[in-house]
């Protein structure tokens, strides 16, 4: 019985090790577009640490002085990471998977879309959002768009 159990365990282990090869799964050798940048990762980790520290203080696991010291340290790290992420966005190094990193083609398509709405569309009187021609409601705030039917309506 012991030998049968050992053989089953070996069989399961071999299967789990060979399953990615059999399924022809590939691991990327370089960086993926969906991976966060170093600054985005540091920002996320710092904000999670800050949340955990606040939780531990609220639960009474941390004293006031320890909490303040930890909070100041983590806040400084988070602020540094946020500034580094903003610098990446300004330099155009941020990846599309990040919160601010649009690819150039996507950015150009967005600009072209806005220009098309501006040239032939109408603006919302409530929020100023440009909408395509013939729109009855604002695509941003949902309010009704008033378009005069004739010159006497003005």
Domain closes at, from 59, 85, 100 = 100
Separation between Cα atoms, residue 132 and residue 138, nearest integer Å: 9
What is the extent of the structural domain holding 132? 105-153
Give whole-number Cα distances, 135 to 36, 44, 53, 105, 126, in Å: 38, 40, 49, 27, 14
Same domain, 91 and 40: yes
Separation between Cα atoms, residue 45 and residue 148, nearest integer Å: 53
* In-domain check, residue 28: no
Tens digit of each residue's pLDDT (9 = 90 or more) over 14-52: 999 888 888 877 766 666 666 778 888 888 898 889 888
Q: Is the pTM of this model over 0.75?
A: no
* In-domain check, residue 2: no
Tens digit of each residue's pLDDT (9 = 90 or more) over 108-143: 777 777 666 556 677 777 777 777 777 888 888 888
Same domain, 127 and 146: yes
Same domain, 80 and 134: no
Closest CA to 41 of 94, 103, 104, 106: 94
Same domain, 48 and 83: yes
Same domain, 38 and 96: yes
Question: Which H/E stretch holds residue 130?
Answer: strand 130-131
Residues in contact with 117: Cβ distance below 8 Å, sequence separation at least 6, in sequence order? 130, 131, 132
Same domain, 96 and 39: yes
* In-domain check, residue 91: yes
> For position 105, what pLDDT does the model report?
73
Token pair of 56, please? 């531990």
Closest CA to 134 of 144, 153, 121, 124: 121
Separation between Cα atoms, residue 56 and residue 68, nearest integer Å: 12
Q: Give how many domains the chain has, as a whole number.
A: 2
Same domain, 143 and 110: yes
Strands 130-131 and 122-123: antiparallel
């Amino acid at each position: 019985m012991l030998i049968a159990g050992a053989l089953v365990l070996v069989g399961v282990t071999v299967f789990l090790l060979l399953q990615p090869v059999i399924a022809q799964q590939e691991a990327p050798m370089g960086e993926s577009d969906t991976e966060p940048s170093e600054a985005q990762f540091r920002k996320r980790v710092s904000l999670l640490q800050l949340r955990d520290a606040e939780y531990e203080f609220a639960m009474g696991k941390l004293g006031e002085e320890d909490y303040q010291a930890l909070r100041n340290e983590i806040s400084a790290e988070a602020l540094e990471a946020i500034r580094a992420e903003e610098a990446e966005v300004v330099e155009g190094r941020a990846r599309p998977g990040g919160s601010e990193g649009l690819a150039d083609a996507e950015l150009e398509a967005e600009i072209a879309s806005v220009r098309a709405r501006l040239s032939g569309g109408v603006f919302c009187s409530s929020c100023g959002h440009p909408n395509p021609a013939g729109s009855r409601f604002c695509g941003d705030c949902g309010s009704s768009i008033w378009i005069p039917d004739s010159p006497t309506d003005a």
